[in-house]
Amino acid sequence: MIYRSFCLRDLGQVEGISKGSFPVPLSKIAIVLLSVICRVYVAVEGRNVAGYLILGEKSAGELFIFHLAVRREYRSRGVASGFIKSYVDRMCYVRTHVSNADAQKFYKKHKFNVLNRARYADEEEEYLMVRKL
């Protein structure tokens, strides 16, 4: 698996992974705009994008995971963990739905802890999790 920065040739596959992973997926326009203001990384095997990470930086230099998703056939193969190990090198925040036990388990495995619980834009309760290094 090769981890690298996103480029426009990855756009269609990243959009497809988003559609297969989130109830409200990112559009191609949103992905391009996010790639301008955030860091976007992909995991690639051959010609296939296996997953992507959209990582923002807060004003204090802290990171925020906007999106982390892996193509269904690559799940449980360490792709998402590879993103965390490769790119999360300082304090980092992530939001996850309270109902998403798999995401919470994954982030806890990588030393994220629940900071608070709130209701966000989609009206479902979410946890704000943080990893302090």
Which DSSP letter does residue 48 get?
E
For 1-55+66-89, CATH gives 3.40.630.30
For the segment 49-63, what is each residue's pLDDT rounded down to a tens digit?
A: 999 999 999 878 899
H-type alpha helices, the chain: 11-21, 28-37, 79-87, 101-109
Distances (CA, A) of 105 to 25, 31, 41, 101, 110: 22, 26, 22, 6, 9
pLDDT at 123 over 80: no
Average pLDDT, integer, range 69-78: 95
- Whether residue 94 is predicted with pLDDT greater than 90 in this model: the reply is yes
Between CA 79 and CA 105 the distance in angstroms is 15
Mean pLDDT of the 14-38 span: 94
- H-helix or E-strand spanning residue 67: strand 63-70
- pLDDT computed for residue 23 by the predictor: 86
Q: Domain coordinates of the chain in residue numbers? A: 1-55+66-89, 91-133
- pLDDT tops 80 at residue 30: yes
Predicted structure pTM score: 0.92
